[in-house]
């Protein structure tokens, strides 16, 4: 346990805003709320390893109680995701409840439920924003990752939203090795439907950890992406996910800060609160909204979040000239690729991450495994890593099992001697 | 640099929510979906009292902002007008 963070108020006046944010806020600016682990798709890189609904999912009443708390804390908006959130039967009831209680909603969907009627309904609510996920500007590139037919579904949803008069919804793309050459095509696609392009980073979280080595952008592509972002920075959203690229030169628009536990967090479908959407693992579990203090207490008091808000030192990165803007990159990316949290990001543009990755054991046995997996069982499990087993020899000085403290049988401690046939 | 008329009545845009923070406050505009911030508690007090004060100048002075500081705080308010966080009030 580290010491309590310095009171932020004592630092104000001389600090940049980003420095103040490092000490955490009274409430998240926004938070990600995965409403369900159920999903009609099985994307290769799913951050939350979604597929099957969890029977412990928050009920409608519990979800509304969370919204009440968010309203009281003045959380401005929630990013709702999943799984595929729209497959929850109470989905529209919940978003209407949230927007009626001054909590704005932005939700991510693969488009499966965005019919013309639903699109018209969404277009009428100023407090709702929609994000359509698409990871290829062509069906070929997209469907290879997100599944057959998913491109057509997303395009149809965008058509319906545009026809309903919804402006500026988001076309959300996870940048991969295969779609980085398609950035201009994505932009054209967004423009065609009156949408705004949003690009995010491929994280090695959830099932994404299994495919990260094959899908994450190559070093030259990172540079290509950076140049593209610099050229289009004003018109493209990034969810602040590329701050590690700022070491190429100028900082990209946005906070350039790891917000985990400081300005963002994740509530999962069963009410577990994690430091960020890319860190669904017990090491980053801060608490659960079902506990008596609710979400507010988890946000305010959890030991994990207190620790994340304490001053961080740059560790191995401290001497790097770019530490001030890159801040060592993404905590979750380091964690799930087995790198130390106080060292460089695996995609460090100075190449320091690659050196560390190359030195890891090649069999992947040392990588953290997600503690939560709701993947569909209809397709073969992708994880086929060796299981750690330790074989030990029985100690030579023990000729019988140790007696446990609670063993009270009449023969406790009795040793059969002489006959030798029991050994 | 944008300027604003400190001698008229202003108000927060009805779609703006203000959340006090230890360093000042966060502002969120539900219409533009833009986030902004006030880096100073006195500026927060001034912004919150705009609705009940005849002019922005009066709101600032009543919040402990001095005449000498007015140009700087005026620029901060002008930036909020620019991003539609503040709107002119006629009543």
Q: Do A104 and B26 touch (CB under 8 A)?
A: no
> Residue A141 — left, alpha, or beta (φ > 0 → left; ψ -120 to 50 → alpha)?
alpha
Q: pLDDT above 90 covers what percent of chain A?
A: 67
A125 vs B: CB within 8 A = no
Q: Closest-CA residue in chain A for B40?
A: A13
Give yes or no for B21 touching A (CB within 8 A): yes
Task: Pick the residue of B14, B15, B20, B21 with the most A CBs within 10 A to test the interface with A by mutation.
Answer: B21
d(CA A77, CA A105): 5
Residue A27 sits at the chain B interface (C-beta within 8 Å): yes
CB-CB under 8 Å, A77 with B19:
no
A235 has pLDDT over 80: yes
State the virtual CA torsion across A399, A401, A407, A409 in degrees, nearest 10.
Answer: -60
Indicate whether A421 pLDDT > 50: no
How distant is the Cα of B19 from the closest Cα of chain A, in angstroms?
A: 7
Q: Is B28 on the interface with A (CB under 8 A)?
A: yes
- CATH number at B10-84: 3.90.930
Task: Give how far A48 is from chain B: nearest CA, Å.
Answer: 26
Nearest C-alpha of chain B: how many angstroms from A321?
28
Assess B34–A contact: CB distance below 8 Å, yes or no: no
Residue B82 pLDDT grade (very low, low, confident, very high; cuts 50, 70, 90): very high
Q: Which of A10, A12, A13 to mutate to test the interface with B (most CBs of B within 10 A)?
A: A12
Top-confidence range, A79-93, A229-243, A311-325, A408-422: A79-93
Q: What is the pLDDT of residues A171-196, one digit of tens each?
A: 999 999 999 999 999 999 999 999 99
- pTM, entire model: 0.84
Domain spans of chain B, in order of start: 10-84
Three-state secondary structure of A48-113 = CCCECCCCCCCCHHHHHHHHHHHHHCCCCEEEEEECCHHHCCCHHHHHHHHHHCCCEEEEEECCCC
Q: If you average pLDDT over each of A160-164, A366-370, A405-409, which comes out highest?
A: A160-164
The interface predicted TM-score (ipTM) is 0.87
- 10 Å Cβ neighbour count for A162? 17
Contacts of A17 in chain B (CB under 8 A): 23, 37, 39
Neighbours of A306 (CB within 10 A): 18
The CA distance from A422 to A164, in Å, is 81
Chain A contact for B69 (CB, 8 A cutoff):
no
Residues of chain B neighbouring A23 (CB-CB closer than 8 A): 22
- Is residue B69's pLDDT more than 90? yes
Mean pLDDT, to the nearest integer, of A331-360? Answer: 92
**Residue pairs spanning A and B at CB distance below 8 A:** 46
**Which letter does DSSP use for residue A165 in this model?**
T
DSSP string, A113-146: T--HHHHHHHHH-TTEEEEEE-S-SSHHHHHHHH
Residue range A273-290, pLDDT digits in tens: 999 999 999 999 999 999
CB atoms < 10 A from the CB of A36, how many? 26
Inform me whether the C-beta atom of residue A127 falls under 8 Å from chain B C-beta atoms: yes
Q: By percentage, how much of chain B surpasses pLDDT 70?
A: 98
**Contact across the interface for A9 and B23, Cβ inside 8 Å:** yes
Q: Tell me whether A84 touches chain B (CB under 8 Å).
A: no
Q: How far is A231 from chain B (nearest CA, A)?
A: 21
Q: Give yes or no for A10 touching B (CB within 8 A).
A: no
- From A75's Cα to the closest Cα of chain B, the distance in A is 9
Provide the percentage of residues in chain A whose pLDDT is more than 70: 84
Q: Cβ of B23 under 8 Å from any chain A Cβ?
A: yes
Q: Are A279 and A260 in contact (CB under 8 A)?
A: yes
Q: What is the pLDDT of residues B12-62, one digit of tens each?
A: 999 999 999 888 899 999 988 888 989 889 999 999 999 999 999 999 999
pLDDT tens per residue, range A17-47:
677 777 788 899 889 999 999 999 999 999 9
Instruction: Give me the pLDDT at residue A400, please.
Output: 53
Q: Which residues pair with B37 in a beta bridge?
A: B26
Can you tell me the distance from the alpha carbon of A281 to that of A288, in angstroms, rounded to the nearest whole number? 14
Interface test with B, best of A74, A100, A102 (most B CBs within 10 A): A74
């Amino acid at each position: 346990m580290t010491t309590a963070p310095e009171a932020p108020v004592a630092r104000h006046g001389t600090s940049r805003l980003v420095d103040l944010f490092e000490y955490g806020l009274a409430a998240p600016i926004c938070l990600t709320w995965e409403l369900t682990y159920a999903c009609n798709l099985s994307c290769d890189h799913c951050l939350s390893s979604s597929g099957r609904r969890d029977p412990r999912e928050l009920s409608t009443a519990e979800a509304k109680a969370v919204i009440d708390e968010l309203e009281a804390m003045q959380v401005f908006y929630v990013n709702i995701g999943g799984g595929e959130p729209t497959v929850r039967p109470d989905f529209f009831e919940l978003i209407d409840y949230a927007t009626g209680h001054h909590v704005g909603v932005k939700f991510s969907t693969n488009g499966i439920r965005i019919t013309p009627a639903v699109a018209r309904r969404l277009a009428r609510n100023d407090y709702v924003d929609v994000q359509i996920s698409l990871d290829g500007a062509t069906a070929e590139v997209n469907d290879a990752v997100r599944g057959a037919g998913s491109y057509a579904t997303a395009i149809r949803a965008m058509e319906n939203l545009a026809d309903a008069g919804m402006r500026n919804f988001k076309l959300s793309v996870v940048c991969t090795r295969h779609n980085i050459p398609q950035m201009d095509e994505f932009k054209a696609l967004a423009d065609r439907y009156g949408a705004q392009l949003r690009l995010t980073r491929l994280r090695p979280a959830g099932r994404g950890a299994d495919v990260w080595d094959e899908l994450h952008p190559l070093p030259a592509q990172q540079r290509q992406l950076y140049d593209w972002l610099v050229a289009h920075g004003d018109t493209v959203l990034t969810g602040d996910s590329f701050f590690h690229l700022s070491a190429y030169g100028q900082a990209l628009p946005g906070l350039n800060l790891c917000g985990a536990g400081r300005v963002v967090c994740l509530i999962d479908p069963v009410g577990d609160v994690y430091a960020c959407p890319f860190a669904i693992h017990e090491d980053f579990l801060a608490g659960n909204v079902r506990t008596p203090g609710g979400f507010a207490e988890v946000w305010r008091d959890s030991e994990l979040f207190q620790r994340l808000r304490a001053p961080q030192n740059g560790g191995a990165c401290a001497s790097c000239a770019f530490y001030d803007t890159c801040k060592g990159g993404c905590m979750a990316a380091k964690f799930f690729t087995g790198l130390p949290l106080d060292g460089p990001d695996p995609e460090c543009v100075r190449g320091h991450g690659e050196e560390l990755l190359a030195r890891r054991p090649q069999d992947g046995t040392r990588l953290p495994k997600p503690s939560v997996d709701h993947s569909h069982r209809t397709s073969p499990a992708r994880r086929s890593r060796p299981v750690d087993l330790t074989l030990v020899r029985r100690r030579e000085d023990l000729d019988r099992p140790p007696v446990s403290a609670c063993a009270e049988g009449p023969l406790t401690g009795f040793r059969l001697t002489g006959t030798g046939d029991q050994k | 640099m944008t300027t604003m008329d400190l001698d008229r009545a202003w108000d927060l845009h009805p779609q703006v929510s203000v959340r006090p923070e230890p360093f000042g406050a966060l502002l969120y505009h539900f219409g533009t979906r833009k986030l902004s911030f006030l880096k100073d508690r006195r500026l927060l007090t001034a912004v919150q009292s705009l609705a009940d004060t005849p002019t922005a100048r009066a709101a600032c002075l009543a919040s402990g902002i001095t005449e000498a500081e007015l140009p700087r705080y005026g620029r901060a308010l002008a930036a909020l007008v620019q991003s539609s966080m503040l709107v002119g009030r006629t009543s």
